[in-house]
């Protein structure tokens, strides 16, 4: 069964990830590709900032009136034949989904990629109950094959390259060791078609839920969501309460923002709008449609103005792709379902802060996440807020520990910055030392663990101050 790493041990997890140079190369290549595609699709787009403003205003409005929109969604969905359930926490959600699976799944449930089902650990509960929960998104299917949890909220197997995938399929399925991606995709398709035919229950999340019509919108590129929602007789969607939008028209701006931010696409290949179960004479759709509205800590986030904005997240993944920490350590190091910058914000609010106290510190606060976020969520600000909660000894949270060496280094740096002459002298010596003694210093115990997997940037031959003075003298 796929296990999460302990999130309290982020530093140890990160050290292990940094030692895996192959994974770092894969992460860097993939995140750079997504970032480049995003830049290309946004280049010269005069409407981008206006779309961001509109989307944030819609989200702020919904979150301020969430009680109203949730009740409206339930009323409209019920009127169109959908059965709406409410789950206060992960256990309640799992109970509802297990109950439906026992009634309808016939031993097999097919799943479309859904972070909310990961959040409630649905696969573990189904396995314990003897029900096969089969992932049908290609990346998620590979992660299930590898017995790993997703390492990215949009691209679950982002840390694997084609050779890793060929090796995995060879070991688990007996495909040729050098099989190409097209062959492996055909193998996956054949196996998944059999599971779609056998399954009595389809399970998904939703990108958005529309209050005015009781509809769900699901975005994808592979077609597996459409099969998951239309082949099995019964479908259930597990939806976080923050996914509400007031009207179908509001989708307009979100359908522009989400794919551009996440994968650099102008539009995802498929958009499925589910409004109630199949009606005569419709050919597609489930005979029975259930929606489980999940709270699991979201109402608590809604209650505090500072944390409420994190509920505006549309899970596009852009902040993960832009984050220099995520790019190096990958998603598994965070030990949580939601990795990266938004994961470091959301996770400490979904689980007790005692278990996630390390995550708000897993950031350089460079601001790249805020820059790319289509909803302009102030992730660095939220991380600082959570850091303060940890430092101030939030009830039940042990005070954060910073290693003695790091504290000394910070005190030394602060002293040097307060004394410019000393700072300049130290810089001259540091330049000399870097040339002569750097290889030796990297092997000494206080620096050895830091130096593993990191390269210290070369000091410039001349500092800015002396260049400026020389320029002013001209």
Window of 84-92, 226-234, 280-288, 317-325 that interacts with ligand SF4 by CB under 6 A? 317-325
Task: State which residue, 188 or 316, has the beta carbon closest to ligand SF4.
Answer: 316
Q: What are phi and psi of 240, to 5 degrees?
A: -65, 145
Number of residues that bind ligand SF4 (CB under 6 A): 14
Strands 208-210 and 215-220, sheet pairing: antiparallel
Window of 108-116, 270-278, 310-318, 439-447 that interacts with ligand SF4 by CB under 6 A? 310-318
Window of 69-77, 308-316, 356-364, 421-429 that interacts with ligand SF4 by CB under 6 A? 308-316
Task: State which residue, 192 or 344, has the beta carbon closest to ligand SF4.
Answer: 344
Given 55, 316, 329, 357, the residue binding ligand SF4 (CB under 6 A):
316
Given 313, 337, 386, 397, the residue binding ligand SF4 (CB under 6 A):
313
Cα angle at 315 between 242 and 254, to 5 degrees? 75
Given 297, 317, 348, 360, the residue binding ligand SF4 (CB under 6 A):
317
Task: State which residue, 100 or 342, has the beta carbon closest to ligand SF4.
Answer: 342
Task: State which residue, 131 or 372, has the beta carbon closest to ligand SF4.
Answer: 372
Given 104, 308, 315, 332, the residue binding ligand SF4 (CB under 6 A):
315
x/- mask, ligand SF4, residues 249-278, rule CB under 6 A, reads: ------------x-----------------
Window of 68-76, 165-173, 289-297, 316-324 that interacts with ligand SF4 by CB under 6 A? 316-324
CB atoms within 10 A of CB 398: 10
Given 342, 362, 383, 390, the residue binding ligand SF4 (CB under 6 A):
342
Distance from C-alpha of 197 to C-alpha of 195, rounded to nearest angstrom: 5
Given 314, 329, 351, 353, the residue binding ligand SF4 (CB under 6 A):
314
Q: How far is the CB of 258 from ligand SF4 (least distance, A)?
A: 8
Task: State which residue, 286 or 374, has the beta carbon closest to ligand SF4.
Answer: 374
318 binds ligand SF4 (CB under 6 A): yes
Q: Is the peptide bond before 281 cis (omega within 30 degrees of 0)?
A: yes
Strand order in the sheet with 270-274: 244-245, 208-210, 215-220, 270-274
Distance from C-alpha of 16 to C-alpha of 328, rounded to nearest angstrom: 11
6 alpha-carbon distance from chain centroid? 17
Q: How far is the CB of 323 from ligand SF4 (least distance, A)?
A: 9
Q: Please say whether the beta carbons of 417 and 423 come within 8 A.
A: yes
Q: How far is the CB of 257 from ligand SF4 (least distance, A)?
A: 8
Distance from C-alpha of 83 to C-alpha of 97, rounded to nearest angstrom: 13
Task: State which residue, 234 or 313, has the beta carbon closest to ligand SF4.
Answer: 313
Q: How far is the CB of 51 from ligand SF4 (least distance, A)?
A: 13
Residues 353-382 that bind ligand SF4 (CB under 6 A): 372-375, 377
Q: How far is the CB of 322 from ligand SF4 (least distance, A)?
A: 8
Site residues (CB under 6 A) for ligand SF4?
A: 261, 313-319, 342, 372-375, 377
């Amino acid at each position: 069964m796929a296990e999460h790493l302990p999130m309290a041990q982020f530093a140890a997890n990160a050290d292990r990830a940094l030692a895996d140079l192959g994974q770092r190369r894969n992460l860097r290549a993939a995140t750079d590709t997504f970032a480049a595609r995003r830049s290309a699709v946004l280049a010269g787009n005069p409407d981008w900032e206006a779309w961001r403003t509109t989307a944030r205003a819609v989200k702020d409005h919904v979150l301020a009136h969430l009680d109203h929109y949730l009740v409206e969604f339930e009323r409209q969905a019920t009127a169109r034949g959908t059965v709406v359930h409410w789950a206060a926490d992960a256990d309640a959600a799992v109970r509802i989904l297990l109950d439906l699976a026992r009634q309808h799944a016939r031993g097999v449930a097919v799943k479309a990629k859904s972070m909310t089902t990961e959040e409630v650990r649905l696969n573990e509960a189904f396995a314990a109950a003897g029900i096969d929960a089969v992932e049908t998104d290609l990346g998620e299917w590979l992660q299930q094959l590898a017995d790993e949890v997703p390492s990215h909220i949009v691209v679950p197997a982002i840390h694997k390259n084609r050779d890793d995938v060929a090796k995995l399929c060879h070991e688990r399925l007996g495909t040729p060791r050098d099989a190409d991606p097209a062959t492996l995709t055909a193998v996956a398709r054949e196996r998944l078609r059999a599971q779609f035919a056998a399954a009595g229950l389809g399970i998904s999340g939703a990108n958005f839920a529309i209050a005015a019509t009781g509809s769900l919108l699901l975005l994808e590129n592979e077609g597996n969501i459409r099969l998951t929602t239309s082949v099995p007789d019964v479908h259930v969607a597990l939806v976080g309460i923050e996914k509400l939008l007031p009207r179908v028209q509001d989708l307009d701006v979100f359908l522009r923002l989400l794919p551009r931010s996440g994968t650099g696409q102008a539009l995802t290949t498929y958009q499925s709008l589910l409004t109630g179960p199949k009606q005569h004479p419709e050919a597609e759709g489930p005979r029975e449609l259930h929606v489980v509205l999940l709270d699991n800590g979201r109402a608590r986030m809604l209650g505090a103005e500072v944390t409420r904005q994190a509920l505006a997240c549309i899970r596009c993944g852009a902040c993960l792709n832009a984050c220099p920490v995520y790019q190096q350590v990958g998603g598994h190091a965070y030990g949580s379902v939601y990795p990266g910058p938004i994961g470091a914000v959301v996770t400490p609010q979904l689980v007790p802060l005692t278990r996630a106290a390390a995550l708000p510190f897993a950031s350089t606060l460079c601001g790249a996440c805020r820059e790319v976020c289509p909803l302009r969520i102030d992730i660095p600000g939220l991380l600082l807020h959570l850091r303060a909660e940890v430092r101030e000894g939030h009830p039940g949270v042990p005070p954060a520990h910073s290693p003695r060496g790091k504290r000394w280094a910070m005190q030394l740096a602060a002293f040097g910055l307060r004394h410019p002459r000393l700072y300049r002298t130290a810089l001259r010596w540091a330049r000399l030392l870097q040339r002569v003694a750097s290889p030796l210093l990297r092997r000494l115990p206080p620096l050895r663990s830091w130096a593993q997997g990191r390269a210290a940037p070369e000091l410039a031959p001349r500092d800015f101050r002396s260049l400026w003075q020389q320029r002013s003298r001209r």
